[in-house]
């Protein structure tokens, strides 16, 4: 158990809908990262937050957004969902920003039908 | 700019044989290097990390990796493969504090009984 929790574990929704994925980092970790993993694209970095502020952006679509709250939990919002958004979404946390090892949550499996 | 290259998307070894998974990186500054393992339907788990101390790094489950600056490599090895080692392995690089991680495309390890 990494100490990172993600909810829900599975999510099935229809195209065009909006969903919110939630992540709670390990106790004491200030940085949160979001990743998308699919068979054709591999592991893709989406976005990083550090202590409530956006720190780095990767291959995140405009339909996707995220935020980190004062209690350091984070949410990833996915809107206007398409079939191609079906993937595993991982959250990871680290003590600081960059350089420090990341600890991954178990992931949320999103299926868009 | 940083990048990580994992040579061989699929590697098969016999049980008891040497495991060698290759990782080459590019970085303009001394990097932080990591190996992660992902078992089916699970999140990524940290195997080991290099942060400019000893060049030979020992990790969990009998794995180790050697940092070779002249070859810009950080290959992962294990002397004797076990069936439970079958998983996806990811190499990652970070240039230090304040910077994001860059993951390789992963190597799927199959262990043949």
Segment A13-21 shows an average pLDDT of 98
* Interface check A111 vs B, CB under 8 A: no
| Among candidates A4, A48, A96 on the partner chain, residue whose Cβ is nearest the Cβ of B100 | A48
Vertex A76: Cα angle to A71 and A81 (nearest 5): 160
Q: What average pLDDT score do residues A55-68 get? A: 93
Tokens of A78: 């996915």
Instruction: Look at A4 and B44 and tell me if their CB atoms are within 8 Å.
Output: no
B74 to chain A, closest Cα gap in Å: 16
pLDDT value at residue A56: 87
Distance CA B112, CA A100 (A): 35
C-alpha to C-alpha distances, A11 to A33, A40, A55, A79, nearest whole angstrom: 20, 20, 27, 14
- In this prediction, residue B113 carries a pLDDT of 94
Any bridge partners for residue A7, and if so which? A22
CB within 8 Å: B98 and A2: no
**Residue A4 near chain B (CB below 8 Å):** yes
CB distance A90–B43 less than 8 Å? yes
Residue A70 has pLDDT above 80, yes or no: yes
Which residues of chain B have a CB within 8 Å of the CB of A55? 98, 100
The answer to which of A6-20, A35-49, A54-68, B13-27 has the lowest mean pLDDT is A35-49
pLDDT of B41 strictly over 60: yes
- Chain B interface includes A45 (CB < 8 A): yes
- Place B73 in a pLDDT band, splitting at 50, 70 and 90: very high
Q: Which residue has the tokens 């940290």?
A: B46
B104 Cα to chain A: minimum distance (Å): 8
- Average pLDDT in the B74-89 region? 96
B108 interfaces chain A, CB cutoff of 8 Å: no
Predicted confidence band at B80 (pLDDT cuts at 50, 70, 90)?
very high
Q: What pLDDT does A98 receive?
A: 67
pLDDT at B98 over 70: no
pLDDT value of position B111: 97
Chain A touched by B32 (CB under 8 Å):
yes
Q: Distance (Å, rounded) from C-alpha A33 to C-alpha A107?
A: 12
Residue of A nearest to B102 (CA): A45
State residue B44's pLDDT score. 94
pLDDT > 90? residue B102 = no
pLDDT at B29: 72
Q: A56 at the B interface (CB within 8 A)?
A: yes
Q: What is the pLDDT of residue A99?
A: 65
| CA gap B57, B63 in Å, rounded | 9
Residue B58: CA count within 13 A, CB half-sphere: 3
Identify the pLDDT of residue B99.
62
């Amino acid at each position: 158990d990494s100490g990172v929790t993600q909810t829900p574990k599975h999510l099935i929704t229809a195209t065009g809908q909006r969903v919110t994925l939630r992540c709670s980092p390990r106790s004491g970790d200030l940085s949160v990262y979001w990743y998308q993993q699919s068979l054709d694209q591999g592991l893709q970095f989406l976005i990083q937050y550090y202590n409530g502020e956006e720190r780095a952006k990767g291959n995140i679509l405009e339909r996707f957004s995220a935020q980190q709250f004062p209690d350091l939990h984070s949410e990833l919002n996915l809107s206007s969902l398409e079939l191609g958004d079906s993937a595993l979404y991982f959250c990871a946390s680290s003590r600081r920003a960059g350089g420090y090892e990341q600890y991954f949550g178990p992931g949320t499996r999103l299926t868009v039908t | 700019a940083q990048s990580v290259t994992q040579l061989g998307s699929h590697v098969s070894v016999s049980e008891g044989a040497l495991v060698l998974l290759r990782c080459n990186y590019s970085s303009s500054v001394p990097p932080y290097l990591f190996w992660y393992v992902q078992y089916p339907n699970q999140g990524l788990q940290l195997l080991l990390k290099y942060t400019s101390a000893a060049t030979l790094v020992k990790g969990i489950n009998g794995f180790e990796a050697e940092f070779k600056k002249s070859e810009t490599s950080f290959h992962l090895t294990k002397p004797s493969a076990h069936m439970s080692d079958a998983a996806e392995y990811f190499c990652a690089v970070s240039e230090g504090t304040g910077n994001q991680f860059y993951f390789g495309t992963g190597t799927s390890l199959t262990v043949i009984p």
